[in-house]
Structures are given as structure tokens and as C-alpha cells.
A and B are shown apart, each in its own frame.
Chain A
Amino acid sequence: MKKTLLTIKSTLKLTDDVFKTILEGDVGTLKAGQFIDIKIEGFTLRRPISICDFDKNSITIVYKTIGEGTLALSNLPNGQRLDVLTGLGNGFDSTKIPANTKISLVGGGLGVPPLYCLAKHLKGQNINFDVILGFNSDKEIILLNDFNALGINTVVTTADGSYGMKGFVTAVDNKDKYVFACGPMPMLKAVYKVSNGGQFSFEARMACGFGVCQGCTIQTTQGFLRVCADGPVFTKEQIIW
């Protein structure tokens, strides 16, 4: 964890209510699957948002304006400085991938952004994998061009059939695959049931984001674990479903 001041470089509207913001500054040490916690002027609690991409001097976040805080964030001008806690959570761990196993990255809706970061990371390690992204409709598709630009075979499913395969991400066969999944709880559960092991990134309402308030604590096979500090990524063996 690092507390730092980051400057908004740009904010781009991706869909009606999804925005991509690039923050610049001393970002600290980061991993795919981690998140940052942003203080937004006028709001009591910080906003925890997953990392979509990063390099030495910048972090890209992709977020939905579901409440007043994220809406305010999307409206902030370029050059605005933000008080941010970075490097929160455990992140995905590619060293846990078993040998000779096929790998799938499965993302649903706003669960897609952290998987882009992971995809880049895995590709850098010459690890092969498939990507399955699920959305409600073609209007909500995000980051598809970015995955394509990495040269990764990406399958898209839409619930209403307006783009790609009709249905949910589970319409794609993930049996016997090791998955990295992020998305809504029902999606995670469905993927968990068919997968042959994997890592699942959770979402929770948090107050602190760094492990002290116990707001996001869940029961796991290893006892009580905090989504913010012990997660947000949990292995199939840790999860009780």
C-alpha cells in the first residue's frame, strides 16, 4: 500500500456510463488484479476501483458511474490532483497456474478491466490463454479493441444476442480449464462450478480498503478473510460455494 498524489491525465467516455481515466504520478509497485482507493472531494469514503492498466508512472482505471462519487470522478478536469491509496489487495498470481492446463480469462461487465491488465501480464510471460468477455448488450462492450490489439483470441457473449454469442459467459465451454474470473457474483459462481481451479476476483462494499474495518470480511476455507486485504482475488480452494 502506498498513499500518493496522482494527477488526472485524461478521462474518456467508453459507453453511456463507463469512463476510462488515466492517472499519472508516483504509482508505487503494482500487480494485475490489485485496486486503488481514491479520495474524491466532498465524499466521506474513498472509492475502490480496479486497475485496468499501469506502467511506471501511470494507472488506467475503467469504472461505471453507479453513484454520485464515481459520477463526480468522471467529471473532474484533467490536471486535477487526487489523493490515492495504490497497490491494494493481493492481485492475480500467475505462479499458481498448474502445468499443462488450458487457461481462460473470463470477465463480465465491469469485471473486464482488471483482466486486461492480467492479459498483458500473462502475454509478457508468453503464457497462452483464451479470453471470454460477457456483456448485457453491444452498447455495453468495453475494452474489446484493447484485447484485440494484444493479439488475443477474444470471444464476446451478450445476454441479448446483439453482439457475438447470445447468452452468458458460461455459454463458452470452460470445462477443465484454469480460469481467472472477475464479474458479478452470479457469473463468478457459474464459472466456479465448471472450472478446473482458478482465481476469482471479488467485489465488496468497503470503508477503508486496506484491511482494518472488517466491512468486507467473508468466510473462506481458511477462516475469515478480508476481500480488500486478503483478496480481492481468491482461489477456487479458498472459496466456499
Chain B
Amino acid sequence: MVNLSTNLSGLILTNPVIAASGTFGFGKEFSSLFDINILGSFCTKGMTYSPRLGNPQPRIAECKAGMLNSIGLTNNGAKHIAEHEFLAIKNYFNKPVIANVCGFSAEEYIKNAIIADESPAVGLIELNVSCPNVKQGGISFGTQTTVLFKLVNAVKKAIKKPLYVKLSPNVTDIKPLAKASEEAGADGLSLINTLLGARIDINTRKFILANKYGGYSGKGIFPVAVRMVNEVYNSVKIPIIGMGGISTAADVLEMMIAGATAVQVGTANLIDPFACKKIIEKLPILCKKLGIKTLSEIVGSAR
């Protein structure tokens, strides 16, 4: 038997595979296809205080090795989510979920984080300071160390559950932002969010996304994510949830060897709704083949 369990600041996962925010809804659609209790956990769609329809359409563009999205945090608002979506989770998932929390001001982040903190469904809070698709808020908090420090510090003081900060790759150097989060009291980090990209129709010369630019995700960003997770692993002591283009069990191991304590699978869920299930079923087989008895021992073992 391979031990696949992992520990995120006291939240014990039976395996390191977490479905990523924005690619798994609140889990309900997937629960009609397979028993999602096999997941380590899943991360819920980013929530803002007020409901948001999001950006104009089209907000999806295909790429050779992934896709662009400019959804813009479409959600029903934190209160509605806590009273409806979070409450319903227990009907099909019996482990704590990770709540992705967004905001347009420090006050809003705190308000939303408290709502998530008070929800029994939530075991960990992921602070989204890296959404590339909203003009104010979000990423403006995730690109300046002093602003990020203040925000993380304030949110951490307001909640009891572990706080993970989801960082953007769209910066010159991610390490100072990781360190600022750690110093401000973050229990862990999530990285990477999407890379900013664009697609243009050569016939019409129009941008495919109504918003012109959007977040690039999928297989193509995997090497970038591995590098950034490793850079951050070497500069902080808190655990990292690694993500970016993971689509196979081998990708999970590679990301963990780079320094991730757990991983998130995102775009792969949109292409194959059984992606997480296949990865989780393959993990012990691959570990056995590689002589790995305790998966958590490989974290950060890259030489």
C-alpha cells in the first residue's frame, strides 16, 4: 500500500489531488458522474461579496496546448454561496472543501473570508489575489509586496481556518510576494494562477476574447508552474499547493518533487470530467512503479 496522504496546515488529505477553483463549480455536476469523495478535496469557484455576471462574451478561446478564459469571477455572491452552494455540498461530498475568496478591497476580502471561515463545509481558505480578469481588486493586491502583506495580515487575523494565498505568475519575480505572504501569516501558498495571454482571429483581426486578454491555462503552462513552485519552495517554509497544467499522475509527482505538498487539477476537468478520478487511480500504481511508499516524502526532492 502506498501512503498518498498529505497535510495542508493541519487539514489532512487522503491524497494530494484537489480540483482547482473555477473548473469544478461546487462539485455537484461531477458528483453525478462519479463519487467525488475520492478527491483529496476541491476548491470552490471564486466568490465576491456582490453577485457578478462577469465579463462580456466570448470569454473562452482555445489554444494549441490549453485555453484562455476571461470569465471575470462570475458568481452569486458570498452570502448566497454560503447559504446555498456551501450548504448543499454535504449532500455529495463528506470532506472539507477549499473556499476561493476574492475581493475588490481589503474590507471585502475580510468580509468574504469570514463568511467562508464560518461555513462548516470549508476547511481551508484560498485567498485569490491573482485573478487576471478583473480590472480592480484581485491582482492589484497580488503584485505589490507591501499591499499583499497588509491584506494577508488583516485576513489572517479575522479568520480561524488555514489561509493559503493564491499567487499570480504575471510578475517579474514571484519570490518576494511569496515571502511577504509568509511573513504576513499565511499558512500556505497556492500557485500558479493563469498566465495572461491573447488570441487573434487572422481573418477578422479581432481578438477572440471580448476582453482581448485572458488567463492562459492547460498543459502548455505546466513547465512554468513547475519552475515557479520550485523557486517558491526554495524561498519559503510554508506548504505550497502546486497547480498549472496538471493532467496526469506523472505531472502530480513532478509538481510535488518540485516542492508542492498538494496539487490542483484545473483545465483538465473541463476537457475530461473524469480527469481527477483517472489521476487518483493512477497515482498508487505510478508510485509503486517508482518505489515511492510515502508520497509526501518526495515533496521538494528535486536535485
Contacts and interface: CB of A to CB of B under 8 A. Distances in A.
Contacts of B270: 45, 207-208, 212-213
Q: Assign chain A's interface to a size class.
A: 20 to 34
A219 interface: yes
Given A213-B23, A215-B71, A223-B76, A44 B64 contact: yes
Contact of B271 (A39, A223, A229): A39
Nearest to A227: B57
B148 to A, nearest CB: 26
A36 to B, nearest CB: 14
Contacts of B65: 44
Contacts, number: 91
Contacts of A69: 62
A207 B218 CA distance: 12
B54 A214 contact: yes
Given A207-B270, A224-B53, A213 B60 contact: yes
A156 interface: no
Given A45-B270, A212-B29, A217-B74, A205 B54 contact: no
A218 B59 CA distance: 12
Interface residues of B, number: 37
B213 interface: no
A78 B61 CA distance: 29
Interface of A: 1, 3, 39, 43-46, 69, 83, 85, 204-208, 210-219, 223-224, 229
Closest 8 CB pairs between A and B? A212-B25, A205-B58, A208-B270, A214-B74, A215-B60, A207-B60, A205-B60, A207-B270
5 contacts: A3-B273, A39-B271, A83-B272, A213-B22, A215-B58
Interface string B53-89: 1100111111111110101001110000000000000
B67 A44 contact: yes
A54 to B, nearest CB: 21
Nearest to B66: A44
Nearest to B74: A214
B51 interface: yes
Contacts of A45: 60, 62, 67, 270-271
A60 to B, nearest CB: 24
A45 B67 CA distance: 8
Contacts of B45: 214
Interface string B14-50: 0000000011110001101100000000000100000
Contacts of A211: 25, 29
A46 B271 contact: yes
Contact of B69 (A1, A83, A213): A213
A204 B57 contact: yes
Contacts of B294: none
Given A44-B65, A207-B67, A218-B57, 8 more contacts: A44-B64, A44-B67, A44-B271, A69-B62, A83-B272, A204-B58, A210-B273, A223-B51
